[in-house]
Structure 1
Amino acid sequence: MQAVDALSNKLSSYLEQQEVQAILDAYQFATGCHEGQLRQSGEPYISHPLAVANILADMHLDAESLMAAMLHDVIEDTGVSKEDLAGRFGSTVAELVDGVSKLTEIEFASRAEQQAENFQKMTLAMARDIRVMLVKLADRLHNMRTLKVLSAAKRRRIARETLDIYAPIAQRLGINDIRVEFEDLGFAAMYPMRHQRLRAALKSARGNRKHIVEEIKDSIEIRLDKELISAEVTGREKHLWSIYQKMKTKRKSFRDIMDVFAFRIVVETVDDCYRTLGVIHNLFKPVPGEFKDYVAIPKVNGYQSLHTVLIGMHGVPIEVQIRTRDMDAMANFGIAAHWLYKSREEGNPRTSRWVQGLLEIQQKAGNSLEFIEHVKADLFPDEVYVFTPGGQIISLPSGATPVDFAYAVHTNVGNTCVASKINGQLTSLSEPLQSGCKVTIINAKDAQPNPSWLNFVVTAKARSAIRHFLKHQQHEESVDLGKRLLDRALETFGSNYKNIRKSWIKRLLVETGAANFEEVLEQIGLGNRLAYGVANLMAPPSMRKTYVPEEFESPIMIDTSDGLIISYARCCHPIPGDPILGHLSPGRGLVVHRESCKNLNEIRTNVEKCMALNWSPRVKGDFSVEFKVELTSERGIIAALAARISESEATIQQISIKERDAHSSVVDLVIDVKGRIHLANVMRKIRNLKQVQRVYRTKN
């Protein structure tokens, strides 16, 4: 009862009396539900919900969150349903409890797929109402505080999960106090010996440092008093996990890290922040390049502060953070510091935007593993800040490119970008961005994402949007090719695609078990079903055939150079004007070969797998072609060869040179051309070089 009274007093300091009473009612109800249940430590189970509520009360959360904290294990561990809770405490509290219950099953040490599924549930619940996540973080924090009663293996598993997932989420939501505690408790459970040794070293170092810390603090306070700036100055302790991480990643000794003294100065107004900065820079010499202004440009999670590094007395480096009281509350409690539940918009807009971004990524991700891959990349950002042409600031992870920037502005801007300018200069789309630069994206109406962008984009939003577009495009292309192949196959039955009857489609869906007709067309286009076989299944039993015709009357028309479903064989490099055949390859769709290609010999007579193709009169684009040039070896000949190809408006993709003897060489070239006429022009220009003996196209 003492613990309940203490909580009640804490709640009365910021909540109305009827709200405090509603929380106590939830406590009484939970006590009855958990009657007879014990924790592994032997304590009554109700001590856990009470402790979780206490953590949230320290963060000054609203009454509904506190009620959900009291009841968060009721659905999971007792016979009470969500409907019972809704009837008794209202639908919002029931939704929160249900959201938290769904998160308790997270087993991160289990199969990757299940881990990802559960993580996906967590972010979905978080995007619906962030309070679900706050209750979950408080629940996890109390479990971490009482970890000692579990076996060593279980302690390590829970600690790993906390360090991998929960600490970064607490950081992203700006809840620094909880993040620091997660990291230190997780460190103690994961690496008990390392934790113990570091703690002993820190204790010993602290004794030697006390005098210097006091001296620096006094000099700062005296100078600020002189300038009439009201401020609270505290020496800031580095926590063990951060010391350990710095030692590991920066390969620094404990002494190097402990030689830096850290202080926090909390003032009244933003104006005082900048005045204090001026005073501090006057008092101690600032280190060039070490000043960061997170007040003018806050971090993604809403964190604001001025950071500077100075050389203090005795030559010791001093790290100083300067912030207002509101900023300090935001830094410690993050999204919970001013999340006003009356209106979703009044919360921390940056964090809300991140949570909404998660929901967008979730809708586009193909599966939960792909989703967790995107989000994990998003949880550990070292940020760069860049400007739009209109002067808006956009924060991106370190290493982000103009493509990441384009998708951060809007998905459509990303999907149609073709080039970029950084500070007015044209640059590559894969160029990493630097803080402070102005980025302009150049768009084209018919442009679309390039699959190669996936090799260099770093943001989750860009990666998931590109993959989503490519999957959608592949689906559309394969359905379109499936229609064309089926149309040709239906000729044998005296019909065509336009005249398909509904009864034929119904019959087909029963025979194949497909969900819809589009799915069957996609499978035909991908080469996973044969068009003639599908046409035979669609036809009434009286019209079905037991043989495959020797050839189909109408060839498929090819009208594009680039596609995800129609590809061009590298063994023979077909180009417009060449007689061509198509080969249906499962999963890849239609592969186009030259008619003379030896690789088709085995299936040439199988009309279902190998089909006649024609080039459409409208075909356009660049096609790769391979040819050889035999020439006399002379200085500058390769440059002359490249110049002739460039003059002919062709692009060299590959070039390799083999020496035949001391005087002659064979040059293998792969270039992009529009068709046979364009290739003939290129070869004629090359033949005109006096050193060239012979030019011919490679057959296979």
Structure 2
Amino acid sequence: MKPTSNIIEKSEREQILNLYKELLRATSSFRHTQDARLIRKALNVLVNEEKQLSRNNANELYLIESLEVALLLAKEIGLGRTAVICALLYQPVLQKEITEEEVRSNFDEQVATITTGMVKVAELYAKNTSIQNENFRKLMLTFAQDIRVVLIILADRLRLMRNLNLYSREDQQRISSEVGYLYAPMAHRLGLYAVKSEMEDLVMKFTNREMYSFIAKKLNETKRDRDQYIYSFIKPLKEELSDLGLKFEIKGRTKTIHSIWNKIKNQETEFEQVFDLFAIRVILDSEPKNEKAECWQVYSVVTDKYQPNPSRLRDWISVPKSNGYESLHTTVLGPENKWVEVQIRTERMNEVAEKGLAAHWKYKGVKGEKGMDEWLANVREILENPELNAIDFIEDFKLDLYDEEVFVFTPKGDLRRLKKGATVLDFAFEIHSEVGKKCVGGRIGNKNVPIKHVLKNGDHVEIMTSSTQEPKKDWLNIVVTSKAKSKLKQSLREMQYKEAELGREMLIRRLKNWKHELTDQLLNQLVKFFGFKTNHDFMRAIAMEELDLVRIKEFLEKEDKKEQEDDRERSAKNFVAEEEDLPDDDVLMIDRNLTNVDYKLAKCCNPIFGDDIFGFVASSGGIRIHRHTCPNAYDMKTKFGYRVVRAEWTSAADSVYQATLKIIGNDDIGIVTNISQVISKEPKVKIRSLAIDSHEGTFEGTLTIFVDNIESLNLLVKKVKNVKGVHSVSRIGAS
């Protein structure tokens, strides 16, 4: 239930006034006479003394939320008056303080369309939309109708992440998971790198707070040395670039906490061993006609001064990314033999890099616009495929969000951008789905290549087809682009549907000859008996002659005979379900709206009384109780959010719970005995098993115990950690 208050605090009034003034300043650059009037009109709708008391789940005024989103759009994303007006009108429309028709008549059709899209998004979220829920595809389809809907939602999510400390821990986990899984990759794909980076850092702050704080502390401790190194690296470059008469800014930029954490994980190293903690960026003030030449001139100066790594050159100036990103990247060996990344770009390129798609409206005609239009058209095409289920869509869609690109050409010289790692078959589906379905290979240069051949930058590709070729299931292991996967799955489903229909017709004809009728009950029996997952698979097996119809006849004859014998022996016991042992009813409460719920404690994380927990509706029925730190929690919450229910402990009763600890220490004589003695002195703890593995002077033990609650477990962990020779004690089953 949303918290409400009929009073606007003095501090809130001051905040509203400051935001109002700041928004007017931020929009002054594009506020022509007409624009100014429309923005003020939207502000007047929002700032209404009688209708401004509505609050969100964190008890923030929607009025403040809307002003902050509008300001973020104007200042940080760089959108124009239409998006700003939509951000201001969205809540009043949602709260039914103004109708969509009034928006259309008082503003314009674009504002009405985008605002309607925003309201649809809110309505879908109100239905507990999960990223694997069919509603999610409707959500994405709303996004794809007008890209500004996506940009406004991204601004709203970023504002939400900045204020996430006001929400409950459960909401923090849910929102962070969703932003990390979908919205940060989407910001990346749209070229909003500043938004994407901040989102990733904030997600890490709320989902991996310990590591986030550790890296932040380390960065702060090493700042002085890092600044000194950057100064010594930049100084000679500044002198040479100034002598050439170039107008430029050169600075060092520390990489984000999230990206540093990725390096630590991927390189399996410690913080101190990660050398590329920063990048040097050269930003030129160039005339459009001189941009490319001056960027390469800077590159020449940098590589003359410092030895470059040829394999790390990235030229996105000659051929920009499809999201419009233009920059020249190289990695060079700086002082103290440390590798340093250098990024070279112009002010225009830098604004596009930071603000992504939004900057394209400021710089008309940039190379990336066409690529973005093609990508959005592709998204719409995938979304509008009625055969595609929500799970397939989100997996395919996410494939294209973070990946690098490869640039190839048609025989006529048309440039096509594909995901890095794309094959000849991907290229065929990129040309047309019918070309893809009939593809038998390709020709690059004067050489014939198979459909699985991986394309390289600059390849000129000609597709070879055959009228007898048909799509095959193993092609899914060859294609990597979302468009190819989507089209291929659609084609395979169409073929399988025809096969299943043929199998059904064959079965009905045979059953009629055997004096039987195909009922749902009989079909379910047959599917289960012959070990098929679905009716569809069963029917296809008949059509493909993988299942002999004679076996079905034998099954029916046995069932007929068995039914005649069983008729006389049926009793009520056949219809009484066995009851499973459940935890005491007064130990847990699961969702206040549910009663008589069958639940079990999940074995993957073994929750203990006092743990922060949630319930998950299992596919086999019943509820499984997991810890919020369960290794599987992230996937369950993001992919199957609609199956997550609230759960909380009520009283401990006389229950005991199993926990497993991992203990690492020196392999000294007597250390295991000392640990066992510590545990035996705890009256509320019982040992179930203790397994020890020694190697090169250290031991690793797995201790399984029974405890009554989390406090007893934490106390035991603390005491075992104090045993001489023990390095670490950690609970198994936590992410």
Q: TM-score range by the shorter chain?
A: 0.5 to 0.7
Question: In structure 1, which of residues 79, 83, 108 is the aligned counterpart of residue 101 of structure 2?
Answer: 83
The answer to whether structure 1 residue 586 and structure 2 residue 539 are counterparts is: yes
Report if the CA contact (8 A) 1:340-1:346 is conserved. no
> In the superposition, relative to structure 1, how do residues 591 and 305 fare at CA in structure 2: closer, same or farther (>3 Å)?
closer
> Rg larger in 1 or in 2?
1
Q: Which moved more, 1:159-168 or 1:207-216?
A: 207-216
Q: How far apart are the structure 1 equivalents of 2:244 and 2:30?
A: 35
SS of equivalent residue, structure 2 residue 448: strand
What residue is the counterpart of 2:638 in the other structure? none
1:226 aligns to 2:247 (yes or no)? no
Structure 2 CA distance for partners of 1:249 and 1:110, relative to 1, 3 Å: farther
Residues 122-155 of structure 1 deviation map (CA, whole Å, 9 limit, x = unaligned): 3212221111111111111111111111112211
- Report the counterpart of residue 237 of structure 1 in structure 2: 254
2:554 to 586, 597, 602: 602
Asked if structure 2 preserves the Cα contact closer than 8 Å seen for 1:417 and 1:442, the reply is yes
User: Residues 531 and 87 (structure 1 numbering): CA distance in 2 closer, same or farther, change over 3 Å?
Assistant: farther
Taking the TM superposition and a 5 Å limit, the aligned residue runs for 1:10-409 are 10-32=26-48, 34-40=51-57, 42-58=59-75, 59-104=77-122, 115-259=132-276, 261-267=278-284, 268=286, 269-339=291-361, 348-364=369-385, 365-409=387-431
Contact 2:496 2:540 in 1 (8 A): no
| SS of equivalent to 1:453 | helix
Alpha-carbon contact 1:294-1:305 (below 8 Å) kept = yes
The one-letter code of the counterpart of 2:95 is D
Number of aligned residue pairs: 515
Secondary structure of the residue aligned to 1:379 is: coil
Letter in 2 for 1:205: T
Percent identity (aligned): 30
The separation in 2 between residues aligned to 1:178 and 1:601, in whole angstroms, is 64
Give 3-state SS (helix, strand or coil) of 1:380's partner: coil
The superposition leaves residues 152-182 of structure 1 with CA deviations (integer Å, 9 ceiling, x where unpaired) of: 2211211111111001111101011111111
Q: Please, what TM-score do these two structures have when normalized by structure 2?
A: 0.65
Q: Aligned-pair distance for 1:93?
A: 1.4
Partner SS, residue 462 of structure 2 = strand
Map 1:407-556 to 2 at 5 A. Answer: 407-476=429-498, 481=502, 524=505, 527=507, 529-530=508-509
Correspondence list, 1:654-665, <5 A: none
Q: 2:155 & 2:550 partners in 1: Cα distance?
A: 67
Q: Which runs of 5+ in 1 are unaligned?
A: 483-522, 534-544, 550-583, 607-700
**C-alpha distance 316-340 of structure 1, shift in aligned 2 (>3 A):** closer
Shift of 1:466: 1.1
CA shift, 1:382, in A, is 3.2
Secondary structure at the residue paired with 2:311?
coil
C-alpha distance in 1 between matches for 2:391 and 2:124: 15
Cα gap change, 1:603 to 1:77, in 2 (>3 Å): same
Q: Equivalents in 2 of 1:306, 1:340: separation in Å?
A: 22
CA RMSD in angstroms, aligned pairs only = 3.3
332-341 vs 354-363, which deviates more? 332-341
**Cα shift at 1:82:** 2.1
- CA deviations over 1:216-248 (Å, ceiling 9, x no partner): 222111111112222111112101111111211
Give the superposition deviation at 1:99. 0.8
1:315–1:19 Cα change, 3 Å: same
How far does residue 70 in structure 1 lie from its aligned partner after superposition?
0.4
Q: Residue 407 of structure 1: CA displacement?
A: 1.2
Deviation at 1:280, TM superposition (A): 1.1
Q: Aligned partner of 1:348: which letter?
A: E
Q: Deviations over 1:375-422 (max 9, x none)?
A: 122223133333433444433223322111211222232122111234
State the Cα deviation string for residues 487-533 of structure 1 (Å, max 9, x = none): xxxxxxxxxxxxxxxxxxxxxxxxxxxxxxxxxxxx536x4x55887
Task: Give the superposition deviation at 1:88.
Answer: 2.8
Determine the C-alpha separation between the residues in 1 that align with 2:102 and 2:371.
36
- Residue 96 of structure 1 and its aligned partner are, at CA, apart by 0.9
CA contact (8 A) 1:106 1:115 kept: no
Structure-1 separation of matches of 2:491 and 2:480 = 17
Mapped partners of 1:605, 1:41: distance in 2: 66
Match of 2:19 in 1: 3
Tell me the CA shift for residue 363 of structure 1.
Answer: 2.5
SS in 1 for 2:301: helix
Does the 8 Å contact 1:14/1:60 carry over to 2?
A: no
SS for the counterpart of 2:312 is coil
| Matched-pair contact (CA < 8 Å) for 1:217–1:233 | yes
Q: Distance in 2 between matches of 1:314 and 1:142?
A: 41
For 1:235, what is the secondary structure of its paired residue? strand
Closer, same or farther: CA 531–344 of 1 in aligned 2, 3 Å: farther
Distance in 2 between residues matched to 1:247 and 1:34, nearest whole Å:
50
Q: How far apart are the structure 1 equivalents of 2:118 and 2:62?
A: 17
SS in 2 for 1:13: helix
Change (3 A) 1:392 1:71: same
Gaps of 5+ in 2: 1-16, 518-536, 559-735
Q: Is the 8 A contact 2:325 2:368 kept in 1?
A: no
> Residue 324 of structure 2 contacts residue 367 of structure 2 at CA under 8 Å; is this kept in 1?
no
Change (3 A) 1:299 1:116: farther
Decide whether the 8 Å contact of 1:339 with 1:346 is kept in 2: no
Cα offset, 1:598, TM superposition: 7.3
